[in-house]
Amino acid sequence: TLDFRRAGFGLFEDLLGRVPWHKPLEGRGAQESWLIFKDHLLQAQEWCIPTKRKSGRNTSRPAWMNKELLDKLKHKREAYREQEQEQVAWGEYREAARDQVRKAKTLIELNLARDIKGNKKSFYRYIGDERRTRENVSPLWNETGDLVTQDMEKAEILNDFFASVFTDKSSSCTAKVTEGKGRDWENEEPPTVGEDKV
């Protein structure tokens, strides 16, 4: 990601200011002009704005997380590590940290609700962060013991597994159900509903 804290905006402005815009944009349409401008802008960005890798715990930090709350959580973790010596201290830190987290969440939600008309972007960003779900299925082992990482292969393995669970006639679950009802469901026709009953 771009690290704007270390960016050289003076050089960035100079690089874009040196381009004689009337010459390259003369007689061109809006789309062509945009592509030329975008190319110059991205080159200046590459020269003046360094990039950094997001790593560690800060990558998925929620909007309500602040320095004070991080300190509380750090104290809670430290107290938890030392819980064998003193159980009460960890409980106090846990309650204090839990209280701070609840207050921080409530405060940011109240601020978002109060400022919704003037700052919709932050509201939708917060909602998007809250709704974010895990989309990947971790690697699976197939019947031969190989590790499967491709999505289609993982889907086939899961499909085969669920199909075997729900259609296996020797399964103990189905045996219990058929015995409990006293009927032979395997040889009977499945029930149907006609249009007149719908």
SS (H, E, C) the chain: CECHHHCCHHHHHHHHHHCCCHHHHCCCCHHHHHHHHHHHHHHHHHHHCCECCCCHHHHHCCCCCCHHHHHHHHHHHHHHHCCCCCHHHHHHHHHHHHHHHHHHHHHHHHHHHHCCCCCHHHHHHHHHHHHCCCCCCCCEECCCCCEECCHHHHHHHHHHHHHHHHHCCCCHHHHHHHHHHCCCCCCCCCCCCCHHHC
For the record, the structure tokens of 184 come out as 């032979």
pTM of the model: 0.31
Which pLDDT score, from 0 to 100, does residue 177 have?
39
Which pLDDT score, from 0 to 100, does residue 19 have?
87
- 54 within 8 A of 121, measured Cβ to Cβ: no
Which pLDDT score, from 0 to 100, does residue 59 have?
64
Residues of the chain with pLDDT under 50: 171-181
Which pLDDT score, from 0 to 100, does residue 104 have?
92
Task: For residue 196, give Cα distances in angstroms to 189, 192, 193.
Answer: 20, 12, 8
Report d(CA 114, CA 2) in Å as an integer. 31
- 54 within 8 A of 1, measured Cβ to Cβ: yes
Which pLDDT score, from 0 to 100, does residue 92 have?
80
